[in-house]
Structure 1
Amino acid sequence: MDRPASLPVPRPAVAALPRYVPGARGSAGGPPPVKLSSNESPYPPLPSVAQAVAAAGEVAHRYPDMFAVELHERIGSFLGLSAESVAVGGGSVAALHHVLQAYAAAGDEVIFAWRSFEAYPILTQVAGATAVPVPLLADGRHDLDAMAAAITDATTVILLCSPNNPTGPALRSTEVEDFLAKVPSRVLVVLDEAYVEFVRDPEVIDGRAALDRHPNLLIARTFSKAYGLAGLRVGYVAGDPELIAPVRSCVTPFSVSAPAQTAAIVSLEARDELLERVESVVTERVRVADALAGLGWNVPDAQGNFVWLPAGERTAEIAAALADAERPVLVRPFAGEGIRVTIGAPEENDALLAALREWA
């Protein structure tokens, strides 16, 4: 078919979107890689969760509960909030997308730290708003003073990432409280706690408790990381029902499948068992971070299920060498900045450390 001289063109903001780069998956036909590129759990779903998902799959010819009523109720109960205080989406990134759909538009500004979760600038541009990235401090932490100074009359949303993906440090309670005192009440602040279950620093902000003190605050969480449901896509935001109602209005109907809803509900019921797995990951995180320090790496405080290697200009070279190692190790490079490495099973982490010794 002949191609016409002109075709429909997208909105300029969409045409200019930065590309989201997923974690590498290895090449077909090559040796099985150690996949430490996507911050996935090294553990499969619990047997009780897998059984529930299989049962839900038997009625896949039916639509799921459009409003995920039971899931909203269970999450609300878990948080000590009403169901109306929760908005569920297809992963926390989808929930964040709905937040920006509801609260940011052309002429508005969205502030976030950078480097941070790479979806933030994409979601901001899709909403039609202007991204205001604020550079991190040298130790990979948010520069909250600079973020507060970046607030203007056009600011409508501020995104905080704790622990910060990909660098690892989490926000401490005192610094967040000081920051929120500087934020006008008309500005929505979203605390992205995708990795909250892995935090062990007692000084880190408790997002749920902070909701009771700050009516312009939302928290975002996910079932992808600690709960090991990355392939099913369930996340949520929570906060004051008046703030959540517009977010719910933006949620795509039926966006959370029946198996995903079921898996999330059963996972909440099995939370204690799941947290035993989380503790295993935290133990490995400490071991890996200590080993990397022994190899000469200056690893920032790691509070998620990953560590950050500030490789700078060597980033691409090191990532390529790891992928070509005798046992390929896939990591997530950020060109010119550093490498994020997911904490895997002990033998996977050993393969990483072995491959990195030549770069010490």
Structure 2
Amino acid sequence: MSNENPVTPVEVQPRPVLDLLPKYAAGKPPAAVPGLTSFKLSSNENPQPPIPAVLEAIREGVDYNRYPDPLATKLREALAAYLDVPADDIVTGAGSLGALTQILQTFAGQNDDDVADEVIYPWRSFEAYPIVVQTTGADAVEIPNLPDGRHDLEAMAAAVNAQTSVVLLCTPNNPTGPALTTAEVEKFINAVPANVLVVIDEAYNEFVRLDDAVDGIEMYRKYPNVVVLRTFSKAHGLANLRVGYSVSHPAITQYLRVIATPFAVSSLAEQAAVASIENMDQVVERVQRLVDERTRVVEGLRDLGWEVPDAQGNFVWLALGEDTPEFARIAGEQALSVRAFGTEGLRVSIGEEEANTRFLEVCSKYPKRPTLS
């Protein structure tokens, strides 16, 4: 029998900030209900598969034993031609969230004087914002949205101070739906110091039909402190392949490439994204089908007396407040998974026609109508 004293195990501790971070809650799959087809309306996924050319590019993929091009050169060149921007102004990432993480790791965090940068963003907005901001060591400054779900840009501009390094604009805003206009974004950019990075998150850009909606690429062309985020996850239906990118000027990209995760975009994902760009007419056609369904759903809700914000993404927002959990449960009983945000409201993705029709039927029987006041 050994006389050695047992070694006391050391409990490894994570960084203290982890205790402060909200947990990212991915959309849950729908429950199986006898007699009903289940539909997932909780993750803003495109219910349509990628276009045929993309599926063919995936089938033809080879060299899985080799690392991909770390710069995703073919993809950046295809995007450069499509967007009419220099390829060197494009930095790819694992989805737009990966691209955003690279931006925040580069331009926000703790400084040598132990003073944290501040990152301002609207709230409620994309639920990953507070996680990725605080993970860098920066302080998150959340500015409540207006009652109609729009950014309060005046309050956001007023919150900018000497510690502000980055401001995030989400247009259309996920999960509430409204898009920003060109005039209000330009007014905002001109109201903040030129050394503050303004990130325009356009993950749902292809779904926007607002006449005077801001175009992030045009803002990037005019203002050197603007960075645009876009993704192939939504309109292109490539969520599982994780392809996103940012567009900004060389004064910014030179630093982003230092931080960028190596090989974040696989060669398979790159081939698929390039094929999708080369067949944008088919992508646009599929997006329009979803936009048409979105219009049907929004009009149907308003005909029922439901007040909903302007919907410019592939989803609608129901400001149900304390009734949010109850509605989510009822929808689940009808084999529809929706995305509930505590007691604030629900985001419901535009899905298959049958799913959207059933959602409207659930709403028609639910007696408590949301309001935007």
Q: TM-score, normalised by structure 2?
A: 0.93
Q: Is 2:115 aligned against 1:111?
A: no
Q: Is 2:329 aligned against 1:320?
A: yes
The AA in structure 2 aligned to 1:348 is: A
Aligned-pair distance for 1:346?
1.2
Partner of residue 39, structure 1: 44
Partner of residue 145, structure 1: 154
Q: Is 2:344 aligned against 1:340?
A: no
Aligned-pair distance for 1:27?
4.5
Residue in structure 2 matching 1:231, options 218, 240, 252: 240
Aligned-pair distance for 1:37?
0.6
- Decide whether the 8 Å contact of 2:31 with 2:336 is kept in 1: no
Aligned-partner SS, 2:44: coil
Q: Structure 1 pair 138/4, CA: closer, same or farther in 2 (3 Å)?
A: farther
Aligned-pair distance for 1:147?
0.1
CA distance in 2, matches of 1:356, 1:12: 43
Query: Any idea what the Cα deviations from partners look like across 1:261-294, whole Å, max 9, x if unmatched?
Result: 1111000001111100111111111110010112
Aligned-pair distance for 1:16?
2.0
Residue in structure 2 matching 1:23, options 24, 27, 31: 27
The AA in structure 2 aligned to 1:99 is: I
Aligned-partner SS, 1:156: strand
Give unpaired runs (5+ residues) of structure 1: none
Q: Is 2:129 aligned against 1:87?
A: no
Q: Structure 1 pair 28/157, CA: closer, same or farther in 2 (3 Å)?
A: same
CA distance in 2, matches of 1:69, 1:82: 12
Give runs of aligned pairs for residues 60-209 of structure 1, distance below 5 A: 60-106=64-110, 107-209=116-218
CA distance in 1, matches of 2:337, 2:8: 42
CA distance in 2, matches of 1:340, 1:82: 36
- Decide whether the 8 Å contact of 1:234 with 1:261 is kept in 2: yes
- Decide whether the 8 Å contact of 2:122 with 2:143 is kept in 1: yes
Aligned-partner SS, 2:183: helix
CA distance in 2, matches of 1:41, 1:292: 21
Q: Structure 1 pair 5/187, CA: closer, same or farther in 2 (3 Å)?
A: same
CA distance in 2, matches of 1:333, 1:248: 36
The AA in structure 2 aligned to 1:245 is: Q
Aligned-partner SS, 1:273: helix
Partner of residue 211, structure 1: 220
Query: Any idea what the Cα deviations from partners look like across 1:110-168, whole Å, max 9, x if unmatched?
Result: 00000000111001011110000000000000000000000010000000000000000
Q: Is 2:283 aligned against 1:283?
A: no
CA distance in 2, matches of 1:42, 1:197: 15
Q: Structure 1 pair 69/321, CA: closer, same or farther in 2 (3 Å)?
A: same
Aligned-pair distance for 1:350?
0.6
Partner of residue 50, structure 1: 55
Partner of residue 353, structure 1: 360
Aligned-pair distance for 1:77?
2.0
- Decide whether the 8 Å contact of 2:33 with 2:333 is kept in 1: no
Aligned-pair distance for 1:33?
1.8
Aligned-pair distance for 1:169?
0.2
CA distance in 2, matches of 1:352, 1:266: 34
Aligned-partner SS, 1:236: strand
Q: Structure 1 pair 4/192, CA: closer, same or farther in 2 (3 Å)?
A: farther
The AA in structure 2 aligned to 1:70 is: K
Give unpaired runs (5+ residues) of structure 2: 1-5, 111-115, 368-373
CA distance in 1, matches of 2:183, 2:284: 26
Aligned-pair distance for 1:60?
1.5
- Decide whether the 8 Å contact of 1:86 with 1:241 is kept in 2: no
CA distance in 2, matches of 1:350, 1:50: 29
- Decide whether the 8 Å contact of 1:84 with 1:245 is kept in 2: no
Aligned-pair distance for 1:213?
1.2
- Decide whether the 8 Å contact of 1:195 with 1:304 is kept in 2: yes
Partner of residue 259, structure 2: 250
CA distance in 2, matches of 1:27, 1:291: 25
Aligned-pair distance for 1:6?
3.6
CA distance in 1, matches of 2:83, 2:10: 52
The AA in structure 2 aligned to 1:46 is: I
Aligned-pair distance for 1:340?
0.4
Q: Which moved more, 1:12-21 or 1:175-184?
A: 12-21
CA distance in 1, matches of 2:257, 2:269: 18
Aligned-pair distance for 1:80?
1.2
The root-mean-square deviation of aligned C-alpha atoms, in Å, is: 1.5
The AA in structure 2 aligned to 1:170 is: A
- Decide whether the 8 Å contact of 1:114 with 1:133 is kept in 2: yes
Identity %: 48
Aligned-partner SS, 1:231: helix
Q: Structure 1 pair 225/136, CA: closer, same or farther in 2 (3 Å)?
A: same
